[in-house]
A and B are shown apart, each in its own frame.
Chain A
Amino acid sequence: MIQLEQVTKTYPKASRPSLDNVSVSIDKGEFVFFIGPSGSGKSTIIKMLLHEVAPNKGRVVVNGKDVTSMRSWKRPHFRRSIGCVFQDFRLLPNRTAYENVAFALEVIGKTKAVARRVVPEVLELVGLGGKEHRYPHELSGGEQQRVAVARAFVNRPLILLADEPTGNLDPDTSIEIMRLLDRINRTGTTVVMVTHDSNIVNQMRRRVIEIESGRIVRDQARGVYG
């Protein structure tokens, strides 16, 4: 599903590479944590998978598509098969929960009728049934992240990327969000999550890939934070 083959990335003006000869293979349906200190290169991986950053060397393959050689005009269509969740939720403040999720559908050409059918369903799935018409500022942090997860998942992507999704949440809420991601993973969606929340990693007991200074120092099938 996701392959990084001897990927090296050095940002301009940086003294050392953010990723140094990294090779990773992630299968369909896996749940993978990338852990490591700030600046270790975790976020660069997420950006590469989104075709936001290109490697200097090596090959990145996502969903069977070689992202390295992908032309930028193909990026929008490619992104539709990937859902994304961030630490800062990135919701539109002047739209309700329903509208935030429907917006993601409508801007890729889905009709309002489709949105009316699909959006309540996915909001129900993330546990926001009954709160469809609240604005982000009327929701708690955890609830806002649920809206973001709903928006990422509404297209039924093959891959869900989560960049520190619990970074802004308290421990209890974080665990609820992890349960949600776990449920999404069980539908067959590959989940890749970048985090440095040791509690969560230890509780989930999933594959852990630890990065330090741009190199993989550990890749464990049912790992802990370490």
Chain B
Amino acid sequence: MRMKYVLSEVLVGLWRNVTMTVAMIITMGVSLTMLGASGLIYAKVADMKELYFENIEVSIFLKAEVTDEERTDLAARLEADPLVSQATYVNKEEAFKRFQEMFRDSPDLLSAVKADQLPESYRLKLVNPEEYKTISDQYAAVGGVDQVVDQSQVLDKIFKLFTAGQNVALAAAVAMAVAALLLVANTIQVAAYSKRREVAVMKLVGASNWFIQSPFVLEAVVAGLFGSVLGLAALVALKKFLFDDALSALQGLFAPVSWGEVFLTFPVMAGVGGLISAVTAWVTLRFYLRV
């Protein structure tokens, strides 16, 4: 019977103040969407780092006037270097072939570049890709070396972009969360005010504190859960319409986001939404009802 009372109070409470409830759910939903999105970006960046670093290469380009002696000397040093797991020599013809392969869709570019204009190079795989800096320092000044280029530098820029996106999403999540919290606090105050007579009688006759507070707290929790459902719907829509449709051309660049990962954000969003709402409501009641 008491459970039934509490639940019916929750529904009545949400309905009595329905515009506020909707505002609360929407803000909560947007906040949780941002939270979920930043979580997904975080997971994706980690995935992509792993994926890219496996295939990453450091290229040592040689000067055009490099001597045979310098070339063999460098080959021997690379062979002996413990940081290098594999070193492949690419001569001018090979480099031109790779170039043709890479830019086969741009005939203008192809016709402008002759085979002997491309530098010879060594392509290195590192034992630990993050030790690029050491390699660069060691070989940049070696005779015959023009420059040391690391692909991970380019990748770092891409990852920085993702991290910035993640930070923006997180900041938006926090800002919306603050708005959502204020709405929860306000809704709970209004609810407590509209039930002040009942609360006064309950306190007078000795109803337990949890019994007085639980309808209000549950009201906030239910709104938080609705908000997380909204957040899930938004993420599903984002994946379907933005990621799978609009950005499908960039599929090769991004690590794919699976439906499983999207749905995995739901328990997190529901947990965060529910818990934050509950705590806010409870704290508000401590000040407002003094129970």
Contact = CB atoms under 8 A, between A and B. Distances in A.
A93 interface: yes
Interface in B183-201: 197-198, 200-201
B205 A108 contact: yes
Size bracket, chain B contacts: 10 to 19
A155 B205 contact: yes
B207 A76 contact: yes
Given A93-B197, A112-B1, A107 B204 contact: no
Interface in B208-244: 208-209, 211-212
Contacts of B197: 90, 92-93
A90 B205 contact: no
Size bracket, chain A contacts: 20 to 34
B206 interface: yes
A78 interface: yes
A66 interface: no
A189 to B, nearest CB: 16
Given A73-B209, A93-B197, A107-B211, A79 B204 contact: yes
B1 A111 contact: yes
B5 interface: yes
Contacts of A107: 5, 201-202, 205, 207, 211-212
Contact of A106 (B1, B200, B209, B212): B1
A15 B208 CA distance: 36
A80 interface: yes
Contacts, number: 52
B205 A104 contact: yes
Interface in A60-85: 73, 75-80, 84
Contacts of A93: 197
Contacts of A79: 203-206
B269 to A, nearest CB: 33
A80 B212 CA distance: 15
Nearest to B207: A107
A77 to B, nearest CB: 6
A151 B204 CA distance: 11
A57 B123 CA distance: 86
B129 to A, nearest CB: 59
Nearest to B212: A107
Contacts of A80: 205-206
Given A79-B204, A79-B205, A92 B2 contact: no
Interface of A: 73, 75-80, 84, 90, 92-93, 103-104, 106-109, 111-112, 151, 155
24 contacts: A77-B206, A77-B208, A78-B206, A79-B203, A79-B204, A79-B205, A90-B197, A90-B201, A90-B204, A92-B197, A93-B197, A104-B201, A107-B5, A107-B201, A107-B211, A107-B212, A108-B206, A108-B207, A108-B208, A109-B211, A111-B1, A112-B1, A151-B205, A155-B205
Given A84-B204, A103-B201, 12 more contacts: A75-B206, A76-B206, A76-B207, A76-B208, A77-B206, A78-B206, A90-B200, A104-B201, A107-B212, A108-B208, A109-B2, A111-B1
